[in-house]
Chain A
Amino acid sequence: MSRILLNRRSFLATTASAGAMVILPNRAGALAAAPVKGGRLVVAGDSEPANLNPAIVASNGVFFVASKVIEPLAEQSYEGSDGLAPRLAISWEGSADGHTATFKLRDGVTWHDGKPFTSADVAFSALEVWRKLQNLGRVVFKNLESVETPDDHTAVFKFSQPTPFQLIRNALPVVTSVLPKHLYEGTDIAKNPANQKLVGTGPFKFGEYKPGEYYLLKRNDAYWQKDAPLLDEIVYQILPDRAAAGNALEAGEIQLAAFSAVPLADLERISKVPGLKVYPNGYEALTYQLIVEINHRRKELADVRVRRALAHSIDHAFVVKTIFLGYAKSATGPIPAYDKTFYEPDTATYAFDPAKAEALLDEAGYKRGADGNRFTLKLRPAPFFNETKQFGDYLRQALAKIGIDARVVSNDTPAHLKAVYTDHDFDITVATPVYRSDPAISTTILFESGLPAGVPFSNQYGYANAEVDRLIKDAASEIDAAKRADLYKELQRKVADDLPLINVAEFSFISVAHDSVQNVSNNPRWAVSNWADVWLRE
Chain B
Amino acid sequence: MPPLLAFFLRRIVTALPVLAVVLVGSFLLLEAAPGDAVDAYVARSGAMDADQLAQLRQEWQLDEGPLHRFRAYASALVQGDLGWSSAFERRVASVILERLPITLLLMGVATALAFFLGSLLGVIAGANPGSFRDRFLSTTSLALYAVPGFWLGLVLIVIFAVDLRWLPIGGIESIASGKTGFSRMGDIGRHLILPVASLAMVYLALYLRLMRDRMNEVWRDPFVQALKARGLSRNRIVWRHVARNAVLPVVTMLGLQAAAMLGGSVVVESVFAIPGFGRLAAEAVARRDTPLLLGVILCSAITVITVNLLVDLAYGKLDPRVRVGR
Contact = CB atoms under 8 A, between A and B. Distances in A.
A136 B47 contact: yes
A216 B176 contact: yes
Contacts of B176: 207-208, 214, 216, 233, 235
Contact of A135 (B35, B48, B86): B48
Contacts of B294: none
Contact of A416 (B35, B175, B270, B280): B35
9 contacts: A42-B175, A50-B88, A212-B99, A243-B154, A247-B158, A251-B169, A417-B42, A442-B46, A442-B47
Q: In the complex, which range does the number of interface residues on chain B fall in?
A: 35 or more
B50 A414 contact: no
B93 interface: no
Interface stretch (A19-27, A54-62, A102-110, A478-486): A54-62
A213 B175 contact: yes
Contacts of B172: 213
Nearest to B90: A50
Contacts of B43: 384, 413-414, 417, 456
B53 interface: yes
Contact of A434 (B46, B169, B288): B46
Contacts of A49: 44-45
Contacts of B98: 211
Contacts of A452: 50
A241 interface: yes
Interface in A430-460: 434, 442, 445, 451-452, 454-458
A237 interface: yes
Interface of B: 33-37, 39-40, 42-50, 52-53, 86-90, 95, 98-99, 154, 157-158, 161-162, 165, 168-172, 175-176, 270-276, 279-280, 286-288
Most buried by A among B44, B46, B95, B170: B46
Contacts of A212: 99, 274-276, 279-280
Most buried by A among B87, B89, B98, B175: B175
B273 A247 contact: no
Q: In the complex, which range does the number of interface residues on chain A fall in?
A: 35 or more
Interface string A399-442: 00000000000011111111100100000000000100000001
Contacts of A384: 43
A372 interface: no
Contacts of B169: 244, 247-248, 251, 253
Task: Rank and list the top 7 A-B pairs by shortest CB-CB distance, nearest first.
Answer: A212-B275, A414-B35, A414-B39, A50-B89, A415-B34, A418-B35, A414-B40
A253 to B, nearest CB: 5
B53 A455 contact: yes
A238 B35 CA distance: 26
A58 B161 CA distance: 36
Contacts of A413: 35, 39-40, 43, 286
A47 B86 CA distance: 15
A208 B99 CA distance: 17
A62 to B, nearest CB: 8
A8 B26 CA distance: 48
B273 A238 contact: yes
B209 to A, nearest CB: 30
A51 B171 contact: no
A451 B47 CA distance: 13
Contact of A456 (B47, B90, B162, B171): B47
Contacts of B48: 135, 455-456
Nearest to A134: B52
A59 B48 CA distance: 11
Nearest to B37: A414
A235 B49 contact: no
B132 to A, nearest CB: 38
A253 B175 CA distance: 10
Contacts of B86: 50
Nearest to A384: B43
B286 A50 contact: no
B149 to A, nearest CB: 13
A264 B275 CA distance: 26
A112 B301 CA distance: 45
Contact of A211 (B88, B154, B168): B88
A51 B89 contact: yes
A251 B161 contact: yes
Contacts of A415: 33-35, 39
A240 interface: yes
Given A216-B175, A241-B273, A247-B158, A417 B39 contact: yes
A371 to B, nearest CB: 31
A135 B45 contact: yes
Contacts of A248: 169-170
B170 A239 contact: yes
Given A213-B172, A253-B168, A135 B161 contact: no
B25 to A, nearest CB: 19
Contacts of A250: 162
A210 interface: yes
Contacts of B165: 251-252
Nearest to A242: B270
A437 to B, nearest CB: 14
Interface in A330-386: 384
A214 B44 CA distance: 18
Nearest to B51: A138
Most buried by B among A59, A210, A241, A414: A414
